[in-house]
Structure 1
Amino acid sequence: MRVLVVGATGILRPAAATLAAEGHRVTGVARDASSVPTGVVPLSADATVPGFIGDGSWDAALVYDPAVSPASLEAIRTAVTGPVVRVLTSAAAAPDLPSALSEPLVLQLGWVPVTRRWHTPAEVSSAALQVLEDGDSRGLGVVRPWEDRP
């Protein structure tokens, strides 16, 4: 499988590394191409501008949503023939916004409730890979009460 990973040097680095280790052809969008995991082909972060990334180049994608503009996300969707998993920060679950979990292929990030900490890249990547595998949107951690955000 050919997979595009936006966030391959940050929050989704473990996911990119796992996919590459499993033998998938992974392209990692990164600000610093030297930081992509072993086995991942780097793509400059500014390459996500609409029209640059091509059409039908990948079978799937994992996208750290804050890293792309709406136009870039649409370009990615055009370039990917299969699922595009969006990883949303807790800000997307603000009380005044509608739930993104009704959308397909979404991982809504929250926080670990007892210790009130953010999730690690390994935790986020594992959950994102689960969404890619089964196609079910899900939340990671909790997003309420909003005042308890770390």
Structure 2
Amino acid sequence: MPAPVLVLGATGILRPAVVRLVEDGRTVVGVARSAPELAELAAVLGPRLIPAAADYLDTQGLLRTLTAIVASFSAAVVYAPVADDETLAVLRLLTDGPVVDLLVSEYAQPAPGADPAAFCLSELPARQAAPWRSLLLGWTSEGRWHTPEEISAAAVEVLATGQDTLLGVVRPWSTRPAS
């Protein structure tokens, strides 16, 4: 049996990704801060979802929680927008295969003096070494943020293809929805 897939953000923006991966026959270790929400999701999805209540801002606590469950992961989908380098390094260390890192739109904010219409996905800073992949979360051309379903579908696609991806648009920056 292959190692499980790690999903960090399992009860929020990546909940639909957890459901899809489990429905596809994968075992998922779902990480979220809320133990009750994880238990509720596990009750629905069954034994292919292994709940792991932890806060990614507590690197050592996250490491203890994850290594108590499994030695390594086959892949990971990570929504940890303010994770520090130490946490990202731990996730990389524990994951044998690809890691999909969801990046918030601020990563595409034009630098002062830069062409406000220009954007190239390859210019994104890599938060970790390959096979770390980025999913940049833009907004829709209609000017709204993407839904968890849309984001999760894109994250699972990046996991399957291994290609950095922009979901939606990030230009013109002036059309970015209010947070």
Both proteins in one fold, TM over 0.5: yes
C-alpha distance 45-128 of structure 1, shift in aligned 2 (>3 A): same
Tell me how many residue pairs correspond in the alignment: 149
Deviations 1:7-64 (A, max 9, x none): 1111111001111112211011111122233232211223661442338421000001
- What RMSD in Å do the two structures reach over aligned CA positions? 2.3
- Partner residue, 1:20: 22
Q: Which secondary structure state, in structure 1, belongs to the residue aligned with residue 36 of structure 2? A: helix
**1:132 and 2:155 equivalent?**
no
Deviations 1:82-140 (A, max 9, x none): 11110001111111298328785110010001x21000000000000010001000100
What is the alpha-carbon distance in structure 1 between the residues aligned to residue 170 and residue 54 of structure 2? 29
Q: Which is further off, 37-46 or 87-96?
A: 37-46
User: Does the CA contact (< 8 Å) of 1:3 and 1:60 recur in 2?
Assistant: yes
- Partner residue, 2:118: none
C-alpha distance 68-100 of structure 1, shift in aligned 2 (>3 A): same
User: Does the CA contact (< 8 Å) of 1:101 and 1:108 recur in 2?
Assistant: no
What letter matches 1:44 in structure 2?
A
- Partner residue, 1:11: 13
What is the alpha-carbon distance in structure 2 between the residues aligned to residue 9 and residue 99 of structure 1? 30
What letter matches 1:135 in structure 2?
G
User: Does the CA contact (< 8 Å) of 1:101 and 1:139 recur in 2?
Assistant: no
Larger radius of gyration: 2
What letter matches 2:11 in structure 1?
T
What letter matches 1:107 in structure 2?
L
Q: Where does the alignment leave 5 or more consecutive residues of structure 2 unmatched? A: 113-121
**1:143 and 2:170 equivalent?**
yes
What is the alpha-carbon distance in structure 2 between the residues aligned to residue 141 and residue 101 of structure 1? 19
The Cα shift of 1:67 comes to 5.5
Q: Where does the alignment leave 5 or more consecutive residues of structure 1 unmatched? A: none
Q: Which secondary structure state, in structure 1, belongs to the residue aligned with residue 7 of structure 2? A: strand
What is the alpha-carbon distance in structure 1 between the residues aligned to residue 79 and residue 100 of structure 2? 9
The Cα shift of 1:69 comes to 2.4
What is the alpha-carbon distance in structure 2 between the residues aligned to residue 93 and residue 85 of structure 1? 17
- Partner residue, 2:144: 117
Q: Which secondary structure state, in structure 2, belongs to the residue aligned with residue 46 of structure 1? A: coil
**1:100 and 2:128 equivalent?**
no
TM-score normalised by structure 1 residue count: 0.88
Q: Which secondary structure state, in structure 2, belongs to the residue aligned with residue 127 of structure 1? A: helix
C-alpha distance 111-101 of structure 1, shift in aligned 2 (>3 A): farther
Structure with more of its chain in strand, by fraction: 1
What letter matches 1:29 in structure 2?
V
Q: Which is further off, 96-105 or 82-91?
A: 96-105
- Partner residue, 1:88: 103
What is the alpha-carbon distance in structure 2 between the residues aligned to residue 62 and residue 80 of structure 1? 10
